[in-house]
Structure 1
Amino acid sequence: MRWWSSLIRIGRDGLRIQRAFAAPSSIARAVLAVLLATVLGLLLDDPVAGAMASVGAFICGVGTLVSPLRHPVVNAFGMAAAFSTTAVLGALVHGTTWAFLLLLGVAAFATGLWRTLGVASGIRGCLAVIGLMITADLAPGVHAGLVMAGWIAVGTGLVVVVQLLPPYGPRFAAQRRALGALYRSLAEASVAADPAALGVTAPFTAARQTLDLLPQFSRPAAAALFGLLGEAERIRRALHTVRLTEPAAGNQEALAAAAQVLGTVSRTVASGRGHRSADAAGSLLESWAAALPVRGPRDLAARLRQAEQLARSSTDDRLGDVLEPHAEVPGLYAGTPSVARTARRIRAQLRPQSPIFRHAVRLAVAVVVAEVIGRSIGGWGGLGISAHGFWVALTTMLVLFPEYGHTVARAWGRAAGAVLGGVLAWALSLPHWSPGGLAALSVVLATASFVTLRTGQLMLNLWLTTWIVFLIHHVGGLPGPTAWARAADTVVGAALAVLVFLVWPTWSARRVPGLLAEWLRVQDRLLPELLTGYADVGAADRAAVDALRTRSRQLRGHLTAAVEQSHAEPAEHRCPWSGAQLEQIRTQVSTVAGCATLLGENLPRTPQDTVPELTELVDPLHEHLTALARAAAGAETVAPGALRRAFDSFTARSGLPAGTTDGSGSVTAGRAVALSTATVDAVEALTATIAARHRPRRHAAA
């Protein structure tokens, strides 16, 4: 019953139509490239040239619209080179079935590994492999296949050319979009009712990744953007301090004013044009910080002023190289070149325990099997294209994802869209079309595909199936009923993708214990390091703390994603905790991370702020977190309360006060004890949830 309800729920998600569109200028460039390719075919009076150039322009255009992180010209050139290369390889192995299947498997495996870099990169890899299938399956011979590959390369070249046309937009557009989204998320979190909203890591990860892609020679001009990333982290920490530790009087109005300032920064950075926040918001923040002479409000007001200044500086590229953002974003401004970093990330997945590696192997096997099945049933009783299985194979490749929910949702949406697209393609094949009418309608259908690219698989595949079937069938002179064969191939490919996933699954719920254990091992190093920092000014290793915070944020992002994806999976027994417990774990992990943030932000800055007694907690905390990590991985059990008893004994023995801060805002023993108490409470709450495993058997960590 749970399997059936899961399929219904995910299927409903797969059929949902979203209101998400690419930038109009990007859509216009992609449409222009397809239009130029179509016109070229008309001028040459060569239907094959026009069709293949249109296919090259279309696939490459889709690659430029899928979450662009690099410069549009770089995206287009990379997509054009990859798609053209695979088309040539497909032509060279045409007629040699074993060589084609071997090459297809290798390419699919590489595409699965490329998924390490993100969903968009994985989809671009799938699009590139389509070129291999087209020329290997559709070409009548090697020579004709090379001719087709040449025209495909011409179409992809047109996409690169149109990226050079105005309007150009602000420099570092992808980085600006990511930073704008980051500051917008901070604005929303600052006024959210749940303090855990400040623990969301995805916007920070996306902003770091996009800035990380910038080549070394262009980073000085983007210095203000790097500085904004550093300020965003400091603003998040200041908001944590205000939300969790400062008096509530006047906080709501001040946080609303902070949200206005953050929204202004977001608009300025994203657009590259200056925007000003209301003067009343700035005045309110200043008066609020002056009325509460403690660190949280003062830090927040100062950081917001700095962010506004950096946002204004980012609108003028000439001011970028006078800043020193490497102090704000350690290790990123002068980081490792992106090629070496990419190779390192992919190399780290080359192990059998990695979900990405398992997905890559599964994808390679599934695509080869789908190609064989497609070739076996390609005729469909005379309605299809006999001995060609690329449609089944490409559907399987585009549907099969590392996650169960995404795979099933895409299967539902893609199959339904293909059926509707087959109906529309069949209807359009009934009348006789002149060459000019055929060209005009193909451009219109391609435009509809570009516009609906991000609205969901249903709408996208409806127009995509209609366009490609209409184009290929008319060029090849195939009868109208063959449109139904393409819909049937899509249904078979989607069903095969789901079946292959179920045969060799990568359940997100099973990843949760391992990710949680790894995150706890990072806390086992971070929290004792922070407590040791209260022994003396400068006792904490700031570089080590920043590195551990970065690793903690990455693991927390992976853990959050795994918990979210596990809710779509049909059986709770795949994880030692129920769905409600997983949500508790996610919230409690964010709470512990927030406590670590506060401990780090309030490290002593003067000898009067030191609390050397806190070092007594290092060993008990280390022992507890070590045991808790093993318990999360299923290696042993852990009983709640041990850390609380050790802490109570410590506070009774030390005689430290339980106050907060003095009038000057310095960190006192009372504040340090309050932060330590909150940390112990958060760890004990997480311990209780981990200990409440709803199944007694042991679960090995991945």
Structure 2
Amino acid sequence: MSKSSTEGSESKWKEKRPSSRNVEREPGSWLASLGTSWRAVWQFDRSQFTSFQAIRCTLGFMLPLALGVATGQVTASLVIAVGGLLLGLVGLRDPSRTRARGMLLDSLFMALSALVGGITGSVGWLLVLVTGMWGVVAGVFASVSPMGLIVGLHACSALVVFAHFALTPVQALQIAALVGIGALFQTLLTIIPSPWTNTAPERSALVAIYQKLAAYAANVFSGQDVLQLADVLIQGQTTLFQSDTRTEQGKLFARLLEKAERVRLTLTILASSARQLTREQQREGGASDHLCRIMQASAGELRTIAQALHPSRHFIETSGSEPEEAIQQSLTELSMLAQTSGGKPEIERILPYCTALLSELYLARRLAVSWRDARQGWSLRTHFLYPRPPRLHLADPWSNLRANLTLQSSAFRHALRLGIALSLATALYLVFHLSADRGYWIPLTVMLVLRSDFITTFTRGIARLLGTMLGAVLTTLLVVFLQPSQPMLVAIITIAAYLMYSTLPANYAIFSAAVAMAVVFLDSFTTSQTVMTAAYRAIDTAIGGALALLIYALWPTWEQSQVPATISRRIETLGHYLDAILHLYADPGELQTVTLDQRHLEERLARSNARGSVRRMLQEPKAHRVPAELAEGLLEAADPLTRRGLTLEAYLRDHAQRSALPAMATFGQQVDEAMSRLAAALREGRQPPPLPDLPEALRALQAAARADKQAQDEARAQWNFLIAEAKRIVRNIEAIRQLLLQDSAPVDHLRI
């Protein structure tokens, strides 16, 4: 690396590095949060523009509609097209196999909801009750996965829309069948294989993760990318869990995700160290500068990894090794500084993490450039990331659903709020007969706007209102100047549908405008008052959006005071879960499934509550929040421990005949005690006390394995597996401790 490039990097960091008084982020406020919502409305994320996927979805909606218009069967084709219209929004960026499964499930729920809505639509009080129940189900589904959220919303939409027509049971059954036909046709198009999207969803998810990691590393003091990074990591975990990890490329992508998670945790610890050293006013050219240069070079390496994974067919591999050399040089200088500096303990504490970061980046880059032909790449010793069966996976939807069916779940409490809000909105339009009998758009808007956190609710409310107004204006202009015929209506609706499918993940305002145009023009097949329909939709959307925002204001879910307790509970239950599993290795008797299942569900519930609580806290207009990086870092450090527990549980269930290993019980007790002490320190707002000597406990396990000289091959394999997992457990517990030890200032913020 040239001297000029090094000097340029140093000067850039000197410009970015704030004074010690400005290291922490300014607290949030109502005005700042509303400003964030307003800016988010206008943001267009080009990486989320689903242009290719939208073509197939548009065909699945347009073909039945065009066929119905051509044959004169307009009414039936409209109902079929509505089923296809909604189904096309399912899992636009998911692997095709997973998307097909989700669409089949969505088809079933939509047909059932259309049937129930058609039957109950003529009985007002029953419709209010059923709509509320459907809202609770949709809210609970949202806690399971992004796919579950879409399925729940579509079920509610079908119920509300077809309840408006107040059908007889026979008519309702016919409508449900037509909706199901349209949904199944859209699903059929998804099943058709496409060579161009073979691994695109997995690579797109990984590209987004590594790009956000690069942005996080490059802006170590801003903390502005923490929430976005957490979001793309969750999306990536979901996508990779749904993909086929049995293939060579599937294993490679799973390994890349694992590397990204380790890099993210290491960067969090180093970022906290960099801010601590800056506050301590180290002399120019000290440890803080070296650490900042390591972060800057890491950002360049992460961008190179993202480029290598990009779905584009044409990739020009960058062969430069400047970022790696810069990290190695700064690491060498940091090691020399540790031998002469007065802050030697602080520097020695972060040196292993710098070395680990260099190693993880090197391996990630080699994996990224070999994905195109995994079979001819270098040999991969893949630690399989996802244990079996599916219920023992961290993101298993049914296990998470079961864990959240309790009032102790924040997701379930939001589901109750959504159900009550939908009942109120339905009762409002039934009682007052709003908008010429088209008031069902009010509960639809409430359903789409109301979310569990402040900024998403207000962002969606503003975006939907502006988008619907824009769609109404465009619809009016097209009707006045074009006076479209039915074939022209099909063409206009097709264009609107394509915009809808391609912009949903990229910009919600444009998506809302496209939806408004498509729905109003669809209505124009059965009514001649297209301009009035557009006006009524805009009015009802404004009423529904205002109602959703009012309900959130009256029934908020402020989390800033709850976050320390929820994260502490997460760490504590995780320790209990690991202890329960490790004790079973000491007892060769039967597996106590009842006790283990209880610990398993408690841990899943605590994880769900903690993740939801932190996400909502980060978007609240409240002051004195827990620092974003500390909260997200603790959650990120806890997840690998959960995976260790799931892997250990899977091994237990797969090996019914196992040897008794008494040393595991002692190790489990010490793990549980360490996690309990960390949780207590977090809850009480203090630095953690000394922990049990886990490295010594690990050495005791290794000694027990060596002493078991009579062990058969299967027993030795079990020892090797357990020691490898124990090492990972100790490493991740130490990471949690380091996050709490990095700086006393963030811990002080945790006081309730």
Q: Structure 1 length normalisation: TM-score?
A: 0.71
Give yes or no for the alignment of 1:397 onto 2:447: yes
CA distance in 2, matches of 1:287, 1:150: 64
Name the residue aligned to 1:211.
240
Supply the AA of the counterpart residue of 1:205.
I
Tell me the CA shift for residue 450 of structure 1. Answer: 2.9
The residue that corresponds to 1:222 in the other structure is 250
Structure 1 unaligned runs (5+)? 527-546, 573-577, 598-616, 633-637, 645-673, 694-702
Q: Which of 487, 499, 511 does residue 448 from structure 1 map onto?
A: 499
- How far did residue 323 of structure 1 move? 4.5
CA distance in 2, matches of 1:462, 1:62: 15
Q: CA deviation at 1:595?
A: 14
Tell me whether 69-78 or 126-135 shows the greater mean CA deviation: 69-78
Q: Give the counterpart of 1:149 among 176, 185, 207.
A: 176
Q: Residues 337, 376 of structure 1: CA spacing in aligned structure 2 closer, same or farther, 3 A cutoff? A: same
Deviations 1:203-226 (A, max 9, x none): 44333332223467x466611122
Given that residues 512 and 559 in structure 1 are in contact (C-alpha distance below 8 angstroms), is that contact kept between their aligned partners in structure 2?
yes
Distance between the aligned counterparts of 1:596 and 1:405, measured in 2?
26
Cα contact 1:115–1:122 (8 A) shared by 2 = yes
Distance 2:528 2:735 in 1: 75
Given the alignment, which residue of 258, 267, 280 partners 2:307?
A: 267
2:371 match: 314
CA shift for structure 1 position 97: 4.3
Shift of 1:60: 1.3
Matched residue, 1:107: 134
Residue 496 of structure 1 aligns with an amino acid whose one-letter code is L
Residues 461 and 549 in structure 2, CA contact (< 8 A), matched pair in contact too? yes
SS of aligned partner of 1:350: coil
> Residue 555 and residue 345 in structure 1: after superposition, are their counterparts in 2 closer, same or farther (change >3 A)?
closer
Q: Partner residue of 2:666?
A: none
Which of 423, 431, 441 matches 1:376?
431
DSSP 3-state at the match of 1:63: coil
Deviation of the 1:104 alpha carbon = 2.6
Q: Give the CA deviation at 1:256.
A: 5.3
Quote the Cα distance in structure 2 between the aligned partners of 1:10 and 1:297.
34
Tell me which amino acid in the other structure corresponds to 1:348. A
- Superposed, 1:349-498 pairs within 5 Å as 349-378=404-433, 380=435, 384=436, 386=437, 389-430=439-480, 432-478=483-529, 480-498=531-549
Change (3 A) 1:98 1:468: same
**CA displacement, residues 271-292 of structure 1 (integer Å, 9 cap, x when unaligned):** 2867633244387369749967
| Map 1:598-637 → 2, pairs under 5 A | 625=678, 628-631=681-684
Q: 1-side partners of 2:136 and 2:606: how far apart? A: 30
Contact 1:445 / 1:463 at 8 angstroms: preserved in 2? yes
1:553 and 1:239, CA in 2 relative to 1: closer, same or farther beyond 3 A? farther
Check the 8 A contact 1:215/1:337 in 2, yes or no.
no
Q: 1:392 to 1:272 in 2, by over 3 A?
A: same
Structural mapping, 1:152-231, within 5 Å: 152-165=179-192, 167-194=194-221, 201-214=230-243, 218=246, 222-231=250-259
- Kept after mapping to 2: 8 A contact 1:220/1:320: no
Distance 2:672 2:132 in 1: 52
The 8 Å contact of residues 468 and 516 in structure 2, kept in 1 or not, is answered as yes
Counterpart residue identity of residue 210, structure 1: T
Contact 1:186/1:198 (<8 A) preserved = no
What residue in structure 1 maps to residue 742 of structure 2? 682
- Aligned partner letter, 1:460: F
- The 2-side partners of 1:52 and 1:79 are apart by 16
Shift of 1:389: 4.0
Alignment partner of 1:347 is 2:398 = no
Distance 1:193 1:137, change over 3 A: closer
Look up the match of 2:643.
Answer: none
What does residue range 435-584 of structure 1 map to in structure 2 within 5 Å? 435-478=486-529, 480-518=531-569, 521=572, 558=612, 560-566=614-620, 569=621, 572=622, 578-579=623-624, 581-583=625-627
CA gap of 1:265–1:369, structure 2 versus 1, over 3 A, is: same
What CA deviation, in whole Å up to 9, does each residue of 1:249-285 have, x standing for no partner? 8777766554444333323334286763324438736
How far is the alpha carbon of 1:345 from its aligned partner? 1.0
Q: Is the 8 A contact 2:637 2:736 kept in 1?
A: no
Q: 1:79 to 1:9 in 2, by over 3 A?
A: same
Q: Deviations over 1:488-507 (max 9, x none)?
A: 22222222222333333322
Choose 474-483 or 223-232, whichever is displaced more.
Answer: 474-483
Query: How far apart, CA to CA, are the structure 1 residues paired with 2:740 and 2:495?
Result: 62
Alignment of 1:4-153 (within 5 A): 5=31, 9=35, 12-13=38-39, 15-20=41-46, 21-65=48-92, 71-118=98-145, 121-138=148-165, 140-153=167-180
Tell me the alpha carbon deviations over residues 281-327 of structure 1, each in whole angstroms, 9 at most, x when there is no partner: 387369749967886665444433432333344323657998442x3
Q: Does 517-526 or 111-120 show the bigger shift?
A: 517-526
Partner amino acid, structure 2, of 1:130: S
Q: How far did 1:394 drift? A: 1.1
Q: 1:91 to 1:629 in 2, by over 3 A?
A: same
How far the C-alpha of 1:120 sits from its partner, in A, is: 5.7
TM-score normalised by structure 2 residue count: 0.67
Cα deviation, residue 39, structure 1 = 1.5
SS at match of 2:560: helix
1:410-463 deviation per Cα after TM superposition (whole angstroms, max 9, x unaligned): 223323333343343344444643221222222223233334424544332223
Distance in 1, Cα, partners of 2:683 & 2:207? 40
Q: Would the aligned equivalents of 2:252 and 2:367 in 1 still touch at CA under 8 Å?
A: yes
- Give the number of equivalent residue pairs: 599
The answer to whether the 8 A contact 1:595-1:678 is kept is: no
Q: CA–CA distance in 1 between the matches of 2:743 and 2:501?
A: 49
CA RMSD of aligned residues (A): 4.8
Describe the shift of the 1:503–1:344 C-alpha distance in structure 2 as closer, same or farther (beyond 3 A).
same
- Relative to structure 1, is the Cα distance of residues 424 and 354 closer, same or farther in structure 2, using a 3 angstrom cutoff? same
* Structure 2: distance between partners of 1:339 and 1:621: 22
Structure 2 distance, partners of 1:358, 1:444, is 39
Question: Are the aligned partners of 2:468 and 2:512 in contact in 1 as well (CA < 8 Å)?
Answer: yes
- Residue by residue over 1:177-204, the C-alpha shift from the partner in whole angstroms, topping out at 9 and shown as x without a partner, is 2222222333334444439779964444
Secondary structure of the residue that 1:148 maps to in structure 2? helix
Inter-partner Cα distance in structure 2 for 1:355 and 1:676: 24
Cα deviation for residue 46 of structure 1 reads 1.6
CA distance in 1, matches of 2:165, 2:112: 16
For residue 45 of structure 1, report the CA deviation from its aligned partner: 1.0
Cα distance, 1:564 vs structure 2 = 1.5
Higher relative contact order (CA 8 A, sep 6+): 2
Looking at structure 1, the residues matched to 378 and 134 of structure 2 have their Cα atoms a distance apart, in angstroms, of: 42
Q: Deviations over 1:336-387 (max 9, x none)?
A: 367993222122222223221111112112212212222233354xxx2x3x
Aligned residue identity for 2:305: V
Tell me if structure 2 keeps the 8 A contact 1:370–1:393.
yes
Provide structure 2 residue ranges, at least 5 long, that are not aligned to the other structure.
1-27, 275-285, 336-350, 578-599, 641-669, 691-733
Query: Is 1:139–1:148's contact at 8 Å kept on the other side of the alignment?
Result: no
2:533 is aligned with what amino acid? T
